[in-house]
Amino acid sequence: MENFKRAPQTSLVEEAIRAKGPEYSEASAQTFRSDAMAILEALVAEADEGEVSTALTRQGFRSSGSYLTTLRALAAAARSRRPALKPID
């Protein structure tokens, strides 16, 4: 993939689980995965596209329209799973 400045890596979630060590139970790993998905869902539901593009660049990825397409699809799915948000006063 020539659009990457760095090589694609394995799942961040799985890497974090492996770092917990061999004593980390599968039940704990499943909870970790679920928690990680909740965090991702919350972040993409409220993400600003410009900030995400800037963050991708800072993290070593070349900005690509496909990233924004993916972000939009994730955000739409996340938002559809939540009730309408009330504005913060």
How far is the C-alpha of 66 from the C-alpha of 42, rounded, in Å? Answer: 21
Q: Which tens digit of pLDDT belongs to each residue from 55-84?
A: 988 988 876 788 899 999 999 999 998 877
Residue 89 forms part of a structural domain: no
Please report the pLDDT score of residue 15 as a whole number. Answer: 96
Question: Containing domain of residue 75, as a range?
Answer: 12-80
The tally of domains found in the chain comes to 1
Residue 6 forms part of a structural domain: no
Q: Which tens digit of pLDDT belongs to each residue from 39-60?
A: 999 999 999 999 999 998 898 8
Please report the pLDDT score of residue 21 as a whole number. Answer: 97
Residue 43 forms part of a structural domain: yes
Q: What contacts 81, CB < 8 A, 6 or more positions away?
A: 41
Q: What is the band of 1 on the pLDDT scale with cuts at 50, 70, 90? A: very low
Give 87 or 30, the one with higher predicted confidence.
30
